[in-house]
Amino acid sequence: MRYASITERLDGLGSDKWAVHMAGRHRANAGEPLIFLSIGEPDLPPPGAVVDQAVASLRGGRTRYAPGQGEPRALKAIADHLTRRSGLEVAPTDIVYTAGTQHGLFSVMATLVEHGDEVLVPDPYYATYEGVVAGTGATFVPVPTRPEDGFHLTPEALEAAITPRSRVLLLNTPSNPTGAVLSAEELDAIGEVCERHDLWIVCDEVYAELTFDRPFSSPYDRPQLRHRTVAVASISKSHALPGFRAGWAACPPGMAPKLTLITETMLFGSQPFLADAVAVALAERHPETVAMRNAFHERAQAMVDAFAGSPAVHARMPEGGMFVMVDVRPTGLSGLDFAWRLLDECGVVVMPGESFGAGGAGHLRVALTVERDVMAEACGRIRGLAEQIAGV
């Protein structure tokens, strides 16, 4: 039987990148004691007020079909949230409600690009981005960043990657996996390049509320860039609610009706009871979200400190997010080979840097989603294996 070509384009771009994680899950299900530092799933509790609203709305009968663009209350809450953040007016008509960031990203890409187009993506990049682009038929073009620059995209690297086929720059700030947070000045310089070459900017902002000592900035909040920027986010990470699958895309004026054509084709309407919860999540300040950000910051510093002084492994302090990039290049192993040995010999499950592009080679992406004592034990095992392999 014949299958559509999209299945060939996506082959190898899905679960293959999570092979170490899935092997760990299989072993854990068989009873093997393992420490999981592989997936960005917050371990701290979500805001009680948000969960209470979801339950109340569910019991109150908010289970019927919703408008394709989203529930009015949620659209207004998202627009108000972005208006407060930027100081620039955002209209509810410029918001499209999505089933999480992943759904939003694919929908936006399907709205903007097709066969023959190119999408530029800073490398390292989140593991699903290749599939998001390939699904549309467009070509994925990695743009190198360097560990020595904190994995920050430079205008020069972007300019060098642009061709007449380039249509979109896909940014992620704070970055998964690197933790890099782009400043307003960096975004302005990158935006100047995009303006000269008439590129859309699609910005994955799912970690926007999880910056540490560096403020969050968005190209959508820059007045000169809003007309070419789509900002995509959700409450999955910021409010520890990945299972809600509740997010949004903030668009320039006039784009939302076109984007809604795509989102409705995949999911005709959303869950009103979850939309009500999103409204509460964004309209109120929640102590749980502050505690979670502080915990990730403290854990990140503790992980960096755990590798300090080692000649075989070191970690870079992230500027945001819930991951640390751990450099194991001194061992002479790839991140993938090291991750498999770490699972087999030490019972620790991490993501190899190669799952996030060539720029992640020789690194591990380590999640900050366990308590400090468990993380300390895992770091000790990582350091011990690295120094054993390096012979130091």
Sketch the domain layout of the chain as residue ranges: 5-45+287-390, 64-283
Structure tokens at 218: 């968005």
Q: CA-CA distance, 126 to 204, in Å (whole number)?
A: 10
Q: For the chain, give percent helix, strand, coil, nearest 5.
A: 50, 15, 40
Q: Above 80 in pLDDT, residue 14?
A: no
Q: What is the mean pLDDT of residues 322-349?
A: 98
Q: Average pLDDT of the chain?
A: 96
pLDDT band at 250 (very low <50, low <70, confident <90, very high): very high
Closest CA to 127 of 102, 154, 90: 102
Class of 64-283 in CATH? alpha beta
Amino acid at 256: A
Closest CA to 357 of 201, 126, 134, 154: 126
Structure tokens at 151: 């994995």
pLDDT value at position 16? Answer: 78
Q: Which fold has domain 5-45+287-390?
A: Aspartate Aminotransferase, domain 1 (3.90.1150)
Q: What percent of the chain has a predicted confidence (pLDDT) above 90?
A: 94
Instruction: Give 259-306 pLDDT, tens digit per residue.
Output: 999 999 998 888 999 999 999 999 989 999 999 999 999 999 999 999
pLDDT value at position 33? Answer: 97
Phi, psi of 349 (to 5 degrees): -110, 120
pLDDT value at position 12? Answer: 81
pLDDT band at 338 (very low <50, low <70, confident <90, very high): very high
Q: What is the mean pLDDT of residues 366-377?
A: 96
Instruction: Give 80-125 pLDDT, tens digit per residue.
Output: 999 999 999 999 999 999 999 999 999 999 999 999 999 999 999 9
Question: What pTM was computed for the model?
Answer: 0.95
Q: CA-CA distance, 311 to 3, in Å (whole number)?
A: 50
Q: Above 90 in pLDDT, residue 15?
A: no
Closest CA to 360 of 370, 369, 350: 350
Q: Above 90 in pLDDT, residue 129?
A: yes
Q: CA-CA distance, 306 to 212, in Å (whole number)?
A: 19
